[in-house]
Structure 1
């Protein structure tokens, strides 16, 4: 039974009551069992004959049984290890013969696993000690440490790491620029040369910004200024140990190239002992005695 009303603006324009029957056609035949052994499922369908919409389901399922039990086939070979390094598993499969493997008609699991380990995975060694601080003061102060990857392959992560260190909070002293020298106060002869430098951080550099050094210490040409000799050294030992031919010498040095005189002075040795003479045997004539004669 059904009752239909059409209402517009609160006024019943049309009232139509109609009655329709709900008629299903007969169920169809059961489909083939999903399993050829053991227990499976089957289904069948029906259609609504109308003219109204039918309530209910158009299909239903049920279980089906075979007298022949399902059995597992032989295990297949194991596949590859599930990991390239470290602990993993090998997996193999088997089929439920004469049945559908997804229908659980065979008792047991369709796969089995066993542990495997192709090789040990690379591992990081312990971190090394922290390095010294990269700077002694000012910003940018860091410390670093490193570790080594042991084993074949690459370890996940970084081999080094950095950290901060306390000198970053210390104020650095200033650093002078290079000295810049002015010309010598004289073109020849002893003079002075002023040189200056700059501190980029005023008040933080240690030392003076200006100093003076000697320059042009050589004597000017044509001035007649002579250099200064040092004191004579002591006399050397006599060049001979005897006789009157020996000589002794002494030296002095000049503080420039303009000293007048010699740097070396020689003299005869003092009294020396006489040198001993060597003697030789003269040829002797037959019948005469040989005698020795001194050889100068």
Structure 2
């Protein structure tokens, strides 16, 4: 039996016999979340379908598929808003077993970032300007004075703390006439009925307001409030008197939704005995009822490619192609289609890959150093010792070789480790600088 199936058996054995889990029909390979809970059943039965997910006693969701990496998440925000910080992204291993990491990428990557190359510098306020004239010619008003953020002015997006405008009360010493003002309408009173009877007049409601916001003055005399102090409104928004709904009979259960693994059977009922009318309440309760069903048939498990093997030695049958022959050969690498079982699809593509090559193993080759590369990712990905590096690469002189070979003009690769003689010989080849504001190493 497949290794991942054996892993399930071992896992359930360690959990004191049959491990009972919450089984889910949907597993999101990007977020690692479970959806559409089917119920609590044995792990072996849930994972008859490799597309399902499950939650055990720790509450975390996992996949029934053989273990593989998720895609990398999007890069997160910069850890600081100005000067140098870092962004991070993660990937997660979901499934039964463990994920291969032949390239040593890990599950966390960190790169440097600069949102703004300077930090805001606050400015200073100048002196207050003179007070402006009072806003009214009688009674009490207000006057304003202003100041400017210019001593010194802020830089790099900075500001001055505090208000740029100050307001003060001013009294003209003259009495103003007070004109009447309406107070807000009081809320509408209740309608004369709670629902509308078909063929009858609509119920009505009333509301009132008072001329006391403010009351008109008598000396000097103010104007009274214009308009009426009451309003009448028809309650046209009321529904017809409601008729609540009632449930009909349950239908028979449907066939099982799955042809392999675990699925559901469903039955339904209609809210039509009677159907609700005129805004009457819909039937309380559920219109559908589900029941777990187990086909006891394992679902197909599609194959997954292993990582490619290393490229083998560049060679050509019956001919020495090393160094000065400048003759092309071929090399190949292979991969294995893993986990296919129960009629699942084979892995797409070929298990063998070949390419045109030149064998430069232990050849004496000359070259020149490149310009500096871009700065790399921060290593390690968290903690106070993270640093990033850039390098110069020895670019070999391959002008004696044909870089496109054969009738299809295939690009040739250079295989093996030559003796490199690069100029200038004593140039600095690597630079390393610390990464700034890197988060501490904690579990996500």
Q: Normalising by the residue count of structure 2, what TM-score does the alignment of the two structures yield? A: 0.23
Q: As a proportion of its length, which structure holds more strand?
A: 1
Q: Tell which structure's C-alpha radius of gyration is larger.
A: 1
Q: Normalising by the residue count of structure 1, what TM-score does the alignment of the two structures yield? A: 0.31
